[in-house]
Amino acid sequence: MKIAVIGAGTIGLSWTKLFADHGHDVRVSDPRADLADVLREFDPARVRAAADLADAVRDADVVQENGPENLEFKKDLFATLVEQAPRHALLLSSSSAIPAGAFAPADGERVLIGHPFNPPHVLPLVEVVPSERTSEDSVRRAVEFYRSLGRTPVVEHKEVPGFVGNRLQAALQREAVSLVQQGVVSPAELDAVVVNSLGPRWATVGPFLGAHLGGGPGGYRHLTSHIGSSMSNLSVGKPDTSPEATERVVEAVEQAYGDKSYEELAEARDRTQLAILSVTGEEK
């Protein structure tokens, strides 16, 4: 297949690796001045820099957009993509929070969300989120496309900002920041709590099955009737979002992890996540 990657940031380059590793021809479009340099790590027979947006999408079968999280930018871009990409091309967005219905043009039946978790060449999930204008055929083709890449597409039934994964992540992150601000734990200590409890559990069963098993033979029903009320009465923290308070949390995270480079931390993350996926049978 011929795939256009629009935006060569962290997510776009990770998609590029995944697409190229599966034998597809990839054209990458991005205004960054060092685009040719960052693409040198890829096989030039598979991946090349596009001269411009029109060159990237001219004969594309799939377009994967990874541009700024800006509504007006996406409106303009997808209006252009509908006009310039071939009529059969899927127009997919890696949008982190903005639903396709907010930026898809009136004739955007091929426009939908294909939201990965970072990095998409490692983590299997792709949230496939159509708008009311997206055709069923486009949803079907998007699911088939991501499955062909060894990903795990989950089609969501309703558009909500942030979709599912990022909403769950945001809820946990808010409580994490609140606990650090209250002085309950440091950032590194909180990470240790998650890595040694919720992380392994949710990597294998997820929140609902984990709770169902937590109820013993009585399952989720037993859990909710016995400890559900005490858990529901826990007040969720409201972190201080002022610039001063935010800066203190940022400095605490940098103090915890600033002794290693981004490359070192990302390599260790990817290596560990691949090992976990190989054990759980999710590695593709």
Which of 1, 165, 22, 215 lies closest to 89, judged by CA?
1
Q: What is the distance, to the nearest Å, from the Cα of residue 128 to the centroid of all Cα atoms in its chain?
A: 11
Report the alpha-carbon distance of residue 57 to residue 7 in Å, rounded: 13
Residues of the chain with CATH 3.40.50.720: 2-155
186 or 279: which leads in pLDDT? 186
| CA–CA gap between residue 116 and residue 95 (Å, rounded) | 9
Average pLDDT, the chain: 95
CA 130, chain centre distance (Å)? 16
Predicted TM-score (pTM) of this structure: 0.93
pLDDT tens digits, 194-238: 999 999 999 999 999 999 999 999 999 999 998 877 777 788 889
Q: Please give the DSSP secondary-structure letter assigned to residue 52.
A: S
Q: For residue 83, indicate whether it is catalytic.
A: no
pLDDT digits (tens, 9 = 90+) for 41-95: 999 999 999 999 999 999 999 999 999 999 999 999 999 999 999 999 999 999 9
Q: Of residues 65, 109, 127, 159, which has the active-site annotation?
A: 127
Q: Which residue is associated with the tokens 């490359």?
A: 263
Asked if CATH classification 3.40.50.720 holds for the domain at 2-155, the reply, yes or no, is yes
Report the residue count for the chain. 284
Residue bearing tokens 């059969």: 88
DSSP per-residue letters across 140-181: HHHHHHHHHTT-EEEE-SS--TTTTHHHHHHHHHHHHHHHHH
Q: Which two tokens stand for residue 131?
A: 């708008």
- pLDDT confidence tier of residue 282, bands split at 50, 70 and 90: low
pLDDT for residue 72: 98
Distance in angstroms (rounded) separating the CA atoms of residues 42 and 2: 16
